Amino acid sequence: MRRTIGPCLLAIASPALAQVENSQPGPPPTRPVRSAAEGWSITVGAAPVLSPAWQGSRDMALSIFPDLRINYRDVLFASIPDGLGWNAVNRGGWKAGPLAKIRFGRDEERGGSPFLVTGGSDALAGLGNVAAAAELGGFVERRAGPLRGRIEVRRGFGGHEGVVADLSLGYQARAGRTIANVGPRLTLGSGDYVAPYFGINSVQSARSGLARYDPAGGLVSFGIGGSVLRPLDRRSALTLFTGVDRLAGDAGDSPLVRKRGRRMQFTLGIGYGWRFGL
């Protein structure tokens, strides 16, 4: 990651992002509220994000994430943080359907963000690169008044071959045109998901000096995220977003995190988005 773009990069600010670098690559939505009566719409924008150089890093890095989103009514959606999805079920406060996402890889010299501007970490030296992964699965979301709960379960292909689940609960409040979201989130993962990012095999151990480590699955991280969205006009908006997450379980116990990183992870960013219809 989520830090996941990545979302990265927050699950409460959007259905996508848990951790910008690793989990949900990219910033939360910066698009203004749009009418469900519209057809196709496109949102373009950018977001400077300050986040750990890689999930578990103690070193911070600044990235500028491009943000391109395509929507068809309240049926189809596509973007880096939200993924490619279809609201196959969309009634009575329920949404559910298939979902595909891309998880950025990890470079032992640059960290986890392909949009790095400044900062970084040398803590990954000797561990090699982790390729990008495609993740295929589905989601279920329930809205009840100001509350929204969402579960995503996806299976990876490429950089990891495991199963990952993101769970979030958000509370939304409005003050005039300003919309605020806040709430807890957590990520679960199988051993095949955790191992590429936190495991250390014998070759990596010899090259890095870290002890060999074979992690199992379970709770990967938990935390809280929030965002404040302020529309500038009918087509553009600014979004301030932040989050704090703690690595847990075998991910948090990895020698990589204990010796060269830290369990607590902090993200802060601001995004701008401009929408137009087709």
In a domain, 245, yes or no: yes
pLDDT of res. 153:
98
- Rounded CA-CA distance 262/278 in Å is 46
Determine the straight-line distance between the first and last CA of the chain, rounded to whole angstroms. 33
| Whole-number pLDDT of residue 113 | 83
Give 39-53 pLDDT, tens digit per residue. Answer: 999 999 999 999 999
195: in domain? yes
Assess if residue 35 is contained within a domain.
no
CB contact at 8 A, 11 and 223: no
User: Both tokens of residue 31?
Assistant: 């698009």
Does 30 fall in a domain?
no
Range of the domain at 156: 40-277
pLDDT at position 18 is: 32
47 forms bridges with which residues in the sheet? 65
Distance from C-alpha of 265 to C-alpha of 60, rounded to nearest angstrom: 9
Q: Is residue 249 part of a domain?
A: yes
User: Hey, what are 184's tokens?
Assistant: 């807890």
Residues 113/63, Cβ–Cβ less than 8 Å: yes
Amino acid 38: pLDDT = 67
What CATH number is attached to the domain comprising 58? Answer: 2.40.160.40
Domain count for the chain: 1
Rounded to a whole number, what is the largest CA-CA distance in the chain? 59
Domain membership flag for residue 77 = yes
Decide if 32 contacts 236 (C-beta within 8 A): yes
The three-point CA angle 199-14-163 to 5° equals: 30
Which residues of the chain, if any, have pLDDT below 50? Answer: 1-27, 30-36
Residue 120: exposure state from Cβ atoms within 10 A (0-12, 13-18, ≥19): buried
Mean pLDDT score across all residues of the chain: 89
- Tell me the whole-structure pTM to 2 decimals: 0.86
Residue 31 maps to a domain: no
What was the pLDDT predicted at 141? 98
Q: What are phi and psi of 173, to 5 degrees?
A: -135, 150
What span, in angstroms and rounded, lies between the C-alpha atoms of 25 and 260? 23
pLDDT of the residue at 37: 52
199 near 254, Cβ under 8 Å?
yes
In-domain check, residue 15:
no
pLDDT in tens, 104-154: 999 998 887 889 999 989 999 999 999 999 999 999 999 999 999 999 999
